[in-house]
Amino acid sequence: MTQTPTLPAFDWPVLQPGWVWLCGAGPGDPGLLTLHAANALRQADVVIYDALVQEAILDWAPQAEHIYAGKRGGKPSAKQRDISLQLVDLARAGKKVLRLKGGDPFVFGRGGEEAQTLIQHDIPVRIIPGISAGIGGLAYAGIPVTHRDVNQSVTFVTGHDQSGETPGSLDWDSIAKGSQVIVIYMGMKHIAQIADKLTGAGRPANEPVAIVTSATTADQKVLETTLGTMVDDVASSALEPPAIICVGKSVLMRQVLDWQGIAAGKKPRNLDPLGRGRPAETP
Ligand code: SAH
């Protein structure tokens, strides 16, 4: 079934020449774009997009010039500066500029820096949040990022910092001790160090872990493993980034909530994976 949704009448903002809208594209599935993102795509003269933005999403802006601004190796900080300044130049040239970033622009996406550069150069901006991979990507895997019986907090961390190393500025001991559920972005490169740090700080080796790659796209893959086995399991799998790593008991909920598997005809593996012993709706 092919249907093109049209936006209902509403006071949709107009993307004016000389403006930059900094917009999240969500984790992949175009259906996870916000309506503001769809409205922006329809109006832009130029869309500057990142590596993680699905090409299909650019089809929503056939009138626009599409500029790829993904960072592939090289010197990321110099490149980031180029991107920010390119946005300034395009806005000054009177273009209606849409800066499209994967997930949410303000979650590990350097959107704060880009917006700051624009404002420092007197360019008017609008920020359009998006669904972040660490929430929406897990949901597509059937993992609720919070669940009443598991966690009252969640910690989002990045697996590498500006130098490309495991973030030295992170207090992994405190994270291990204080975070009920840990959601790790960009964690694949340093997965061995992350596993060591968390188990070294007392997290049990049998703690459930899920690794979701290319979440919400047709290539989505989910590996269920544990802190103690995840390094070997990743090594023997063919998993490719981008990947979200979720550490914590919420991963067990996938045994009942793998809604994509269920839609494809699988039976839920366990209707009560947390062993509550009573229906979910009871207090
Ligand atoms: N701003 C983005 C994150 C950018 S950092 C957001 O809010 O989602 C890039 C990292 O995000 C990747 O290394 C990976 O950890 C994660 N990521 C983004 N899209 C993803 C996807 N579709 N599947 C799994 N991980 C994803």
Same domain, yes or no, for 259 and 148? yes
From the first residue on, what is the mean pLDDT of each consecutive set of 10 residues in the chain (283 residues)? 75 97 98 96 96 93 94 61 95 98 96 97 98 98 96 94 73 94 96 95 97 98 98 95 97 98 98 92 85
Give domain status of residue 58, yes or no.
yes
Atom of ligand 1 lying closest to residue 106 CA: 1
Question: Which residue ranges have their beta carbon within 6 Å of ligand 1?
Answer: 27-28, 52, 101-104, 107-109, 132-133, 137, 185-186, 212-216, 241-244
Same domain, yes or no, for 259 and 138? yes
What's the confidence (pLDDT) of residue 174? Answer: 95
The CA 124 to ligand 1 mean position distance, Å, reads 27
What's the confidence (pLDDT) of residue 278? Answer: 87
The CA 283 to ligand 1 mean position distance, Å, reads 35
Residue 91 is encoded by which pair of tokens?
């806005």
The CA 119 to ligand 1 mean position distance, Å, reads 26
Give domain status of residue 278, yes or no.
no
DSSP collapsed to 3 states, 142-160:
CCCCCCCCCCCCCEEEECC
Atom of ligand 1 lying closest to residue 217 CA: 22
Residues facing residue 126 across a β-bridge: 21
What's the confidence (pLDDT) of residue 8? Answer: 87
Same domain, yes or no, for 152 and 241? yes
What domain count does the chain have? Answer: 2
Pocket test for ligand 1, best of 22, 220, 244 (most atoms within 8 A of CB): 244
Give domain status of residue 13, yes or no.
no
DSSP collapsed to 3 states, 39-73:
HHHHHCCEEEECCCCCHHHHCCCCCCEEEECCCCC
Residues facing residue 210 across a β-bridge: 224, 246
207: left (phi over 0), alpha (psi -120 to 50) or beta: beta
Domain that holds residue 122: 20-131
What's the confidence (pLDDT) of residue 226? Answer: 98
Atom of ligand 1 lying closest to residue 185 CA: 15
Same domain, yes or no, for 182 and 246? yes
* DSSP for residue 213: E
CATH number at residue 180: 3.30.950.10
Same domain, yes or no, for 160 and 258? yes
What's the confidence (pLDDT) of residue 3? Answer: 67
Same domain, yes or no, for 62 and 112? yes
Q: pTM for this structure?
A: 0.95
98: left (phi over 0), alpha (psi -120 to 50) or beta: beta
Classify each residue of 201-225 as buried b or exposed e, where b means 16 or more C-beta atoms within 10 Å of its C-beta. Answer: eebeeebbbbbbbbbbbeebbbbbb
Same domain, yes or no, for 46 and 61? yes
In this structure, the chain runs to a length of: 283
CA–CA distance from 55 to each of 39, 60, 70 (Å)? 17, 10, 12
Same domain, yes or no, for 232 and 162? yes
What's the confidence (pLDDT) of residue 19? Answer: 98
What's the confidence (pLDDT) of residue 71? Answer: 62
The CA 232 to ligand 1 mean position distance, Å, reads 22
CATH number at residue 72: 3.40.1010.10
Same domain, yes or no, for 199 and 238? yes
What's the confidence (pLDDT) of residue 76? Answer: 56
Same domain, yes or no, for 89 and 173? no
Give domain status of residue 229, yes or no.
yes
Residue tagged 């559920």 (tokens) = 181
Same domain, yes or no, for 147 and 121? no
Same domain, yes or no, for 101 and 159? no
